[in-house]
Amino acid sequence: MYIEQAYKGSSDSWKFILGVFVVFGAWQFFGGIPLIIALIMSGATGTLATGDMGSMSEALGSNTFLFLMLLTFAIGLACLLLYVTFVHKQSVRSLTTSRRKIDWNRILYSFGLWAFISLALLFLDIWLAPEDYAFNFNLVPFLILTVISIIFIPIQTSMEEYFMRGYMMQGLGILTKNRWFPLVFTSLLFGMLHILNPEVEKLGYGILVFYIGTGFFLGILTLMDEGLELALGFHAANNLTAALLVTADWTAFQTDSVYRDISDPVLGWDVLVPVLVIFPLLLWFFSKKYKWSNWKERLTGRVLTRDEFLSQENS
């Protein structure tokens, strides 16, 4: 009963609606102030109007820009957890999972599994098409990148998971009293929030199929496993390996990574393979490992009322 964990705090509808605006505003406005100040001080104010991440990264240096960009998520996550704690009177544990305590083994297992798969797929692609990659390793910038990434990328991905699959999933479930609407809504919203990424400008709106599909995958993970742990681990591994291992001039993460993708990107079947093949296989694997059942009820079923939930909790 992951969605029903919201009943362990103050679950008034207006608090959820206000919370979305408060947290999103803090994330986007207050979180962006350090980046704006840095761009002004560097004389790169013109990049603010265009929103060109590549120009911002060039003006500030890739590591400085990455740090300031990730800092916005740290501020957003802090605001979210404070709002949940003091306004909803809800614990971080019940926002994270329906289990008696947060299952760190699940987080680490999901992280390790996807990091291994990501590494394998990357090096397979380098072996099959070495002309598409340039060795980009530079020790000092890479060490700085590693420190920034290890500390702040899990914070960035946790902010997205706690906000989308946590706070909004629980809030919409309580409001609509079903599970399918929060799954669909948060998955579509997760995809649409990536619409300003440079990948979309380079490849077209078709790339949103991948982002929306990823949103559905993470949402299904959360509802089937009754907690955020698997989604937290997967998302952190995905972004961390991307930041450290490979970068390109047309991606959101432009870093001093080990490799640079120098190919001319084309939107093709490789966008659909994760959504239609890899993610379903991962769901099947996790379902066997964690013995998931009753898929229809967990993904589309009714959310209990507060009285029903508390009655079950006390029985």
Neighbours of 267 (CB within 10 A): 16
> Does residue 85 lie within any of the structural domains?
no
Would the pLDDT of 97 be above 80?
Answer: yes
Q: What is the pLDDT of residue 61?
A: 85
- What's the rounded Cα separation, in Å, for the pair 107 and 2? 16
Q: What is the pLDDT of residue 36?
A: 85
Model confidence pLDDT, tens digit, residues 174-219 = 999 999 999 999 999 999 988 878 788 788 888 899 999 999 999 9
> Does residue 265 lie within any of the structural domains?
yes
Q: What is the pLDDT of residue 48?
A: 65
Angle CA 24–28–30, to nearest 5 = 105
Domain count, the chain: 1
Percent of the chain having pLDDT more than 90? 72
Amino acid present at 91: S
> Are 210 and 261 in contact, with CB atoms under 8 Å apart?
no
Q: Which letter, b or e, does each residue of 193-224 get, where b requires 16 or more Cβ atoms within 10 Å of its Cβ?
A: ebeebbbbebbeeebbbbbbbbbbbbbbbbbb
- What's the rounded Cα separation, in Å, for the pair 304 and 282? 29
pTM of the predicted model, to two decimals? 0.93
What domain range includes position 241?
A: 99-314
If you count them, how many residues does the chain have? 315
> Does residue 111 lie within any of the structural domains?
yes
> Does residue 160 lie within any of the structural domains?
yes
If we measure between CA atoms, which residue out of 262, 244, 197 comes closest to residue 62? 244
Average pLDDT of the residues in 287-291: 96
> Are 198 and 215 in contact, with CB atoms under 8 Å apart?
no
Percent of the chain having pLDDT more than 70? 96
If we measure between CA atoms, which residue out of 20, 300, 304, 32 comes closest to residue 167? 20
- What's the rounded Cα separation, in Å, for the pair 270 and 264? 14
Would the pLDDT of 247 be above 90?
Answer: no
> Are 125 and 241 in contact, with CB atoms under 8 Å apart?
no
Mean pLDDT of the chain: 91
> Does residue 242 lie within any of the structural domains?
yes
Tokens of 39: 């761009």
> Does residue 282 lie within any of the structural domains?
yes
Between the alpha carbon of residue 96 and those of residues 87, 114, 118, 289, the distances in Å are 17, 20, 25, 20
Res. 150 pLDDT band, cuts 50 70 90: very high
> Does residue 21 lie within any of the structural domains?
no
Average pLDDT of the residues in 293-298: 95
Q: What is the pLDDT of residue 45?
A: 67
> Does residue 303 lie within any of the structural domains?
yes
Average pLDDT of the residues in 106-121: 97
Q: CB burial class (10 A; 0-12, 13-18, 19+) of residue 14?
A: exposed
